[in-house]
Structure 1
Amino acid sequence: MDSQEESVKPTDNVDFFLLVEEKRIPVDRDILVKSSNYFRAMFSSGMRENCQNVVELHGLSSASVRALVNLLQTSQLSLRDTDIEDFIATANFLQVQKAVDYVKSHLDAHACVDVLNIAELYCINDLEEAAYSFLVDNYFDIFRKGQYERLREEQQTRVRELRKSIKSYICAIVEYDEASADTPRKTRNLYYHDDKEDVFRPYKTVDSRVPKSSYGAAVLDNNLYIVGGYVDAGGSTGSATGQAVGSGFRFDPMTRQWHEIKPLQQARAGFTLAATDTHLYAIGGKAEVDLFTVERYDPKDDTWTFVAPLPRPVKPEAAAACMGDVYVAESAARFMSPDRLLKYCTGQDEWTDLGKIPYRLQCDSDMVSFADFVMVIGSHAIKSYNITSGEWYTMMRPMGGGYTKNRFDHVVYDGDIFFVGRVTTQRCTPSRGVWDCLAGVPGCGYRKAFVLKLKRLLPFPDEVYSGGNAGIRKAMNT
C-alpha cells in the first residue's frame, strides 16, 4: 500500500523517513540518534534498520510522532492533531528525554493534572515530580481554576504535605527602605529573616502601586494580601494622611509575583484585616469618616461582600482570627468606659460581646492568635484570652516596655511571639518564659510583619520563576 509523505520542517536534504500508520515522516537521522535512546540503540546494534532509509514504527500514532519530530527539529511543539497523553506516551516509548523536559518546563494550570496522571500511568518519575512541584508552586491558580478538585484524594494529600514541608520565614515590609524618612527610596522590598545568620534579607521588590501606610495586610493560604491604605492627592502611595483607597494586591511567594485583586467596595485606611482559613475580613477603619462596616473577601472568585457591621460605633483597635472566627479588641469611645472583646462568628454572620478586656488599650495595641488563645499586646503587657474557657491570663511583660506597633509589628511563629522592629526583633517564648533579641528589619515608618513559606530565596530581585513562555494548553491549540 502506498504511503503518504508527511511534511515536517525542516525537510531540506532529508533522506530518512519514519513510517507510521502508512505515513512517511521525514526526519534528520542524526537528530534521532542524538535525542532518542531507542534509535541510538537501534542504529548501533547491527539491526537491518541501520542500513535502511525508512524505519517502520508500530503501535504509535503518526500525529504524535510528527509532533515529536517537529519538536526535535524546530524546538517548537504543536499538539493540535493529537493529545498530550499520546504525545507523552510516544516520547516515553522512544525514550526522548528532550520531549519530557519540554513538557516539564511548559506546564500550565489547565494541563498539570492531566500531565500528573499520565506521568503516574507511565511511571515517568521526573515528570511526576515536576507536576507535583508545579501544583505546589501554583496552588492558588490551580485552586481558582477548578483543577485542584480533579486531583484524587491521595494526590491532594501529597500536595498538602509538600506545601507543609516548605520552610516558613518571618517577613516584613516597611514604609522606607532607608533609615531616614527624609531620603526615601523609590522602591521597597519584602524582607525575610535568615535565621541561620540572623539578618533580614530582601526577597522581592514591592509593587510600586501598593500604598506605603495605613493599609491592611494578612496572609491567606500562603498568599500575602495588602488592601486599602492612604495615597496623596496626586496618587502617590507615600502619604499617611491623604485619600483612603480600596485597591488590593496579592503576592504569591511561590511564583514571586504581585497580582492586583478586586478592590474593596468601600475605600478605607487604618483598619484591621484578619484572615481565617478561607476568607479575609476588612474591619472598620477610616475614610472621610470613621467606618463601622465589615467586608469579606473570597479568594476563589475574587469578590468582596459586606457582612454584619460592628455592633456599635467603636474603634476596632486590633483583630485576629482564631479557630475560624474573628476577634476584635474594641477601643471604647469614652475614656472611662472599659475596652471590650468582640467576636464575629463567621458561620452565623453575627457579633457577640465577650466582655471587658482587663487592660486599658492604647491607640497602638495589637492582636495575634495561637492555638485557642487570642493575645492582646500593649506597650507594657500581654493579655491572653482562651476562647475555649473564656478566661484571661497575664503573660510576660515585654523587654524594657514601650513595644507598641508604632515601633513593632507582631507575629506568631513556631510557638513564639515576634516583635518585629527596625533596631531589633524581640522574641518571646511563652513556654520557657524567656525573651531574646534578634536582628531588626531595615527601614523605618509603617511596618507590617507576617509569616510566609518561601522558596528560591536567590537570586534577587528581578528573577521570577516561570515554567516557560508557553504552556502545554497553548501547544494543544496551535
Structure 2
Amino acid sequence: MKDPGREVLAPNGSCPLLDQQAGYCKAANSLRVIVGGSTFTVDKATMAENCEYFRALFKSGMRECRQEEIQLQCVGAGGFLVLLQVLRREQPMLNSDEIVEAIECTAFLQAPALTKHLMNIIDSENCLLMYHTAETYGVWDLGHQSALFIRDAYADLKEDVAALPSKLVEYVESLLPSSYMAVCSHSPSTELLQDIQRTVCYLDEEPREWRVLTHLPLNTSTTMAGVAVLDNKLYIVGGVHDMSKKVVETGFCYNPVLDSWSTIRGPQQLRYNFTLIGHEGCLYAVGGEYDRKALSSVERYGPADGGWGFLSPLPRPVSSVVSAVAVNRIFICLWRGQGATDIHEYVPDRDQWLLVTTLVREQSYGLYMVAHRDNLHVIRNGPCEDFLLCVMDSYNLSSGQWTAMCGQYGNTKGSLFTAAVKGDSVFTLSRHVTTEYTVEDSRWRVRREMKGFGRIGSIYTFLMRLPKAGAPLTELCPDPTQEQTLQELCIRPRTSTPCSQDV
C-alpha cells in the first residue's frame, strides 16, 4: 500500500465542477481531506457519489461544503487510503490493522463500495476479525456475510468462535450452513414415479450419505443445460430434449425455502452446452451451441424484471465454458490450442471481457477451474499416459503469478472436474467416492472421504443453504398428496430419502 503520509489524488481528478442543479454546492471539484496528519486530494463528485457522509455534507449548505480543505476526526489515514484505492477500482488485500481501519472508515463515511470490497475478501484468517469489528461498528451487511463464512467453516473455527461474545456466537449458530449439492444430466421425462434418477441431491455430512432434496420437473432437462445458484435458488436453463439437440426453451427455478419449482423465460438465443453463472443478482448465459454451431453471444437475466439482454460477446465462439467467481469477479477459461488457455474476466459495469493471463501447459483433455480466496485453481488432466490423474496450476490475482500445485490428484474412481469450494475445503465426487480436500498454500490435502454419488452421466455440483425445518425434503409417507398444516410444516424435523447408489 502507499504511504498514507503522502498526498494522494482520488479517482476522476479531472471531473467537471459539481452541478448545482443536482443539489450540491457549486465549487471547485477538488478537495483536500486531512486525516490523522495525512492530506489526501479527492474529487468532490466522486466522494459524494460513493459516500453518504460527503453527499450529506455537500448538500447541507454548511460552510464546509465551500471550503477547499476539511479535516476528518473519526477515521484513520489507513482506512481512508483503502477507500480511495477501492474507488480507483483497485482491490487491495488487507492485513488486520487495515481491516479494522477500513471498517471504521466505511461505518463513519457510509461507503457501500468499501463495504462490498471487505465482504469480497473475507477468508478463514480474517472472518472472525471482520465479524467482531463489523458488529462493533454497526456494519451489518459485512457482519452477516462474515457470520455466514464462519458458519460454513465452523468445524475448523469452533474453538476460536467460542472466544467471541455469546450473542455473536448464537447468531452464527442460528445460520444455515452451505450444503454440497449435485444433479446428473437428464432429459425431459413423461413419467416421474419410476424415474428415481431425476432428482437433486445433497450431501448429509454427518452420516456421509447422499440424500434426495427434490425431484426435477417432468419437462426439465439437465442434459447440456446451464445450472447455477443465485440468491440461494437453483436455476436450470436450456438443455436438450434428446439426440436431436432440440432445445428446452423454458428455464426452471427451485426455491428450497418453499420447496417448490417455478418457470422463468429462457434466453433470447436458444442455446445448449453453455455455462450459466449466478452473480450479483443476475444470471449470465455464456457461449454454448445452437444447431451444432458454437456461440460467442452472452446474455444476462434479471429475476426482478424477468428479462434477458445481450452483453458484449466472448472473444470467440465457444461451448462448455469453464468459469469461476473469485473475490466477487467473474472469470472464464478459453482454450485456444497448443496447450494455451486464456483466462478472461468479465467486468459488468464496463460490459467488457478483459484478458487476464494465459496458461501454457501440455494437457490431454478436460479442464476445470475453482476459486479460493484470490486464487484461481485451474485443473487439467496430466500427460496422456496419466489421463486419469489431475494436475493443477494456481493463479494469484493479487500478485499476477502462476504456481504449479504439488502432486497429482484423482484416480481410477474419479476426477476433480466437479469441485465446489466451501470455506477452506473443496468437495469433489465420482460414482464411488466423495472427497473433501483442505486447500493449503501449495497443494490440496485429502481431509476425508465419503460415499460416492452413485449416478451415471455428467454431474453438476454447487452449494446451497437448506432450511433446518419446514416442508420435508422428500416425504416418506405412502400418500405423496397428503396435506399438512402450516404449523406441522414449520416444526416437523427435516427428513429425506437416501440417494440411490450404483444403478
TM over 0.5, yes or no? Answer: yes
Which range is displaced more, 161-170 or 208-217? 161-170
The answer to whether structure 1 residue 369 and structure 2 residue 381 are counterparts is: no
Q: Compared with structure 1, are the counterparts of its residues 350 and 185 closer, same or farther at alpha carbon in structure 2 (3 Å cutoff)?
A: same
Deviation at 1:402, TM superposition (A): 8.1
The answer to whether structure 1 residue 428 and structure 2 residue 446 are counterparts is: no
Which of 162, 166, 174 is the matching residue for 2:176? 166
The equivalent of 1:345 in structure 2 is 347
* Aligned 8 A contact 1:421 1:441 in 2: yes
The equivalent of 2:295 in structure 1 is 291
Matched letter for residue 330 of structure 2: V
Which of 438, 447, 450 is the matching residue for 2:450? 438
- Measured on the aligned residues, the alpha-carbon RMSD in Å equals 3.2
Distance 1:357 1:249 in 2: 36
* Aligned 8 A contact 1:170 1:450 in 2: yes
* Aligned 8 A contact 2:274 2:319 in 1: no
Distance 1:281 1:466 in 2: 38
Which of 405, 410, 418 is the matching residue for 1:399? 410
Matched letter for residue 195 of structure 1: E
The equivalent of 1:203 in structure 2 is 213
Q: Deviations over 1:394-427 (max 9, x none)?
A: 224213378446xx52211121111122211122
Distance 1:360 1:168 in 2: 35
* Aligned 8 A contact 2:288 2:318 in 1: no
Query: 1:231 is paired with a residue of what secondary structure?
Result: coil
* Aligned 8 A contact 1:316 1:329 in 2: no
Matched letter for residue 425 of structure 1: T
Distance 1:460 1:301 in 2: 29
The equivalent of 2:393 in structure 1 is 383
Distance 1:154 1:352 in 2: 33
The answer to whether structure 1 residue 414 and structure 2 residue 416 are counterparts is: no
The equivalent of 1:251 in structure 2 is 254
Deviation at 1:276, TM superposition (A): 1.8
Matched letter for residue 269 of structure 1: Y
Q: Compared with structure 1, are the counterparts of its residues 186 and 425 closer, same or farther at alpha carbon in structure 2 (3 Å cutoff)?
A: closer
Distance 1:250 1:459 in 2: 18
Q: Structure 2 unaligned runs (5+)?
A: 1-137, 148-170, 188-193, 382-389, 488-503
Matched letter for residue 190 of structure 1: V
Which range is displaced more, 368-377 or 453-462? 453-462
Which range is displaced more, 354-363 or 456-465? 456-465
Deviation at 1:194, TM superposition (A): 0.9
Matched letter for residue 326 of structure 2: C
The equivalent of 2:322 in structure 1 is 318
Distance 1:259 1:359 in 2: 43
Equivalences, count: 300
Query: 2:474 is paired with a residue of what secondary structure?
Result: coil
* Aligned 8 A contact 2:232 2:255 in 1: yes
Which range is displaced more, 415-424 or 449-458? 449-458
Q: Compared with structure 1, are the counterparts of its residues 216 and 467 closer, same or farther at alpha carbon in structure 2 (3 Å cutoff)?
A: same
Deviation at 1:285, TM superposition (A): 0.6
Q: Structure 1 unaligned runs (5+)?
A: 1-152, 178-183, 233-238, 469-478
The equivalent of 1:36 in structure 2 is none
Larger relative contact order (CA 8 Å, sep ≥ 6): 1
Q: Compared with structure 1, are the counterparts of its residues 422 and 297 closer, same or farther at alpha carbon in structure 2 (3 Å cutoff)?
A: same
The equivalent of 1:193 in structure 2 is 203
Q: Deviations over 1:286-333 (max 9, x none)?
A: 11111110111212222211100002345563011223332111011x
